[in-house]
Amino acid sequence: MQLLLFVSSAVLLLGGGAAWLLGAATMSELLWVAGTVLGLVFSIAWTVGALWRRQPSVDVIALLALAGALWVHEPFAGAMITVMLASGQLLEARAAARARRELSLLVERAPRTARRRLEDGVVEVPVDEVSRGDRILVGTGEVVPVDGRLVSGGTLDEAALTGESLPVERPAGDEVRSGVVNAGQPIDLVATSVAAESTYAGVVRLVEQAQASSAPFVRAADRIAVFFVPLTLLLAAAAWALSGDPVRAVAVLVVATPCPLLLAAPIAIMAGLSRAAHIGVVVKGGGALERLAAGTVMLFDKTGTLTQGQPTLADVVTASNGVDADEVLRLAASLDQVSPHVLASSIVTAATRRGLTLEMPDDVQEEHGYGLSGLVGAREVRVGKAGWIVGDAQPAWVRQVLRRANLDDSLTVFVGIDGEPAGAFLLQDPIRSDAPRMVRGLREAGIVRIVLVTGDRADIADTVGRIVGVDTVLADCDPAAKLVAIESEAVHAPTIMVGDGVNDAPALAAAGVGVALAARGATASSEAAGVVLTVDRLDALADAILIARRSKSIALQAVLVGMGLSLVAMVAAAAGLLPPAAGAVIQEAIDVLAIGIALRAVLPGKVHTITMPAADIDAAHRLKVEHDAVLAVVEQIRAVADTLSTQNCDLAPAHTLFDRLEAELLPHERADEARLLPLVDRTLGSSDTTVAMSRTHAEIEHQVSRLHRLLADLDNDTVQPEDVIELRRLLYGLYGVLRLHNAQEEEGAFSLVPVGTVARAGS
């Protein structure tokens, strides 16, 4: 409709101009009158519609200007006004369509059916019939129908959700979201949610909310328009009364049509929504965008926001030397491949990242509330609670595991092999490697105060707060206490609350604007929040704030320039310096200028997202795989140190450890020095970040060299207690340096790599 109106009005205006140039005055006047009448009809319809909806509108000014142009025989001015109105409507429609396109793409890809594996084959069923625990087959090029966990590794195209153009390699055990596309071989997954609770169901609701609201700036523009209408009418009446010439009044009305106010502001705001959606941030309408732009105090929940939000394997403790740590992990992960439990996913992911080869289990049985049992190859494996695996007795190694779990706030999973306790896993919720960088980015984006608000105990919360760099930590907070914290901060400045859990929903709704993290699926927090991150990168939040502030600033610039020039033109028209025809041309130029200013918001602005060449992404990914693989060697250092005894000390485990350090750890650290650190320098444009990492590489080499010399001087027959103490001290020191260094690499290097991207075949 907007395009038809624009084409029709332009044809009538240009046709009239051509007829006038050819000397056909009557024909030109008829064409211009037709154009004016066309605009008059639509203006009446728009005005009546606004009155019916009880919305303020300045369409009455356009209506009076068109009617006045006919009255004083200025058909050219009327035809020009019609073109002006039509072009404004068309631009607004196109800008709105652009904003909706980024969001609607998510909805259009929603799957409708799923292929469920049964004992006797595969059956295609409606996606609503999928239940948790169902095994789903996803063919090449098909859309993942429900959230689930991969039974085997696969390559996925997640561009529709994250905007990331490169394929994503997901190992067995990784969680995948509905709506992504299988870009590799057919894959199997175990459904972890029903369709109504999957990512796409939540995305549909988010999009509906995002498209249903308008910005307060736009609503404020409507309110300003209410005052602008009587001002225009008074000025037009005064010009007529003082001069006695109704043409002056019509000229005032012609140049008074406030398109900059009505169109430029919405275009800029909608462009901001589009830019935010492009980087994976769904903003629920212009209102949320403006509140995001205004916020200067940010409150964070901890779990799932500043931390990963899901357990990650921190250590493997073995019960004896009968089965080594890697074999315990391999057998347990093989069994856990078919379990929908969240801890099973963590164990499978850890095994695949260490390069362990998993087998599909047989005869799997679940003991509800206790664990899982089954056959992996020829071995009977059980994974579950301590009491189910080791019984009521607690040998020393079990007490050690439970003590460490209590000190580190870890979860434990015990493993039995062939009827005997074999070991245990310690799982923690680690701090996100990109969290410190995100906090620095937020401060650069204008956030002046950052508060950590969490229900966790104070010692854990303080540790997280120190590492990521917040200003204040509020621990032991239930949902009611979080509301009190938000109200307290809101007294001083506009607030932004960031969270991802169900218990965060009240706080997200109470803050100036709530931001929910939904990269792993929409939850109640997504429903309560005004802004939702659909990408698993926190730096997108700082970028969204920059986009919001830029869009609001551009909207204000467009309105001030457009309305300022319109007011000048109105005064000139009232003074008789601007006839209606010339006024119409000038007003069209003003509108085009204002809308052009607003459309700048469509263009990319300053963001904190770091770009990296494809070759560097490939190199970083390969180094990350090596980085994950040597984590087992690092944990072996502590395990060997723990078992050293000053009486009858056996040095064989220490010699075996040194061989692994030389064969696996040192080559990896040297590769990091030669390839990873220059990559980071190129990406950040500075070598300041890598100075500390380079120094740590040198320290690791030094400590391994000292270990070599110490072991060369010792043998089992002559080793003294003080030698064992020195060896243990050296191992613990090396372990501490490596743990800190690994954290440095995760934060300073690997957090720069786009999440999930992989090296392409043949690279």
Q: What's the total number of domains in the chain? A: 2
Domain end point (choices 367, 401, 428): 428
Instruction: Tell me what pLDDT residue 380 has.
Output: 93
The amino acid at residue 742 is N
The CA-atom distances, in angstroms, between 694 and each of 670, 678, 681, 688 are: 10, 10, 12, 10
Residue 712 placed within a domain: yes
For the chain, which ranges sit under pLDDT 50? 102, 163, 165, 210-215, 217-219, 522, 756-763
The single-letter DSSP state of residue 129 is G
Instruction: Tell me what pLDDT residue 381 has.
Output: 93
What is the domain range of residue 715? 614-752
Residue 34 placed within a domain: no
Task: Give φ, ψ of 498 to 5 degrees.
Answer: -120, 125
Task: Give φ, ψ of 145 to 5 degrees.
Answer: -80, -35
CA separation for the pair 300, 496 (Å, rounded): 9
Q: Which residues are catalytic?
A: 301
Residue 68 placed within a domain: no
Instruction: Tell me what pLDDT residue 737 has.
Output: 93
pTM of the predicted model, to two decimals?
Answer: 0.68
Residue 13 placed within a domain: no
CA separation for the pair 56, 70 (Å, rounded): 25
Contact 259, 566 (CB under 8 A): no
Nearest to 581 by CA among 29, 115, 18, 6: 29
Residue 157 placed within a domain: no
Contact 382, 357 (CB under 8 A): no
Instruction: Tell me what pLDDT residue 758 has.
Output: 38
Nearest to 684 by CA among 440, 432, 467: 440
Instruction: Tell me what pLDDT residue 716 has.
Output: 62
Tokens of 537: 């990168």
Domain end point (choices 381, 409, 428): 428
CA separation for the pair 431, 751 (Å, rounded): 12
Contact 591, 88 (CB under 8 A): yes
Residue 526 placed within a domain: no
The CA-atom distances, in angstroms, between 6 and each of 14, 39, 458, 586 are: 12, 10, 63, 19
Contact 372, 133 (CB under 8 A): no
Tokens of 559: 């309105």
* DSSP string for 498-534: EE-SGGGHHHHHHSSEEEEE-TT---HHHHH-SEEE-
Instruction: Tell me what pLDDT residue 212 has.
Output: 47
Domain end point (choices 400, 428, 456): 428
Nearest to 30 by CA among 64, 71, 79, 72: 79
Contact 664, 630 (CB under 8 A): yes
Percent above pLDDT 70 for the chain: 84
Count how many residues are written for the chain: 763
Residue 195 placed within a domain: no
Greatest Cα-to-Cα distance within the chain, rounded to the nearest angstrom: 120
Nearest to 520 by CA among 158, 211, 243: 158
Residue 667 placed within a domain: yes
CATH of the domain at 381: 3.40.1110.10
Burial 304-336 (b: 16+ CB within 10 A, else e): bbbbbbbbebbbbbbbeeebebbbbbbbbbbbb
* DSSP string for 595-662: HHHHHGGGS-----PPP--HHHHHHHHHHHHHHHHTHHHHHHHHHHHHH--SSS---HHHHHHHHHII
∠ CA 540-545-546 to the nearest 5 degrees? 95
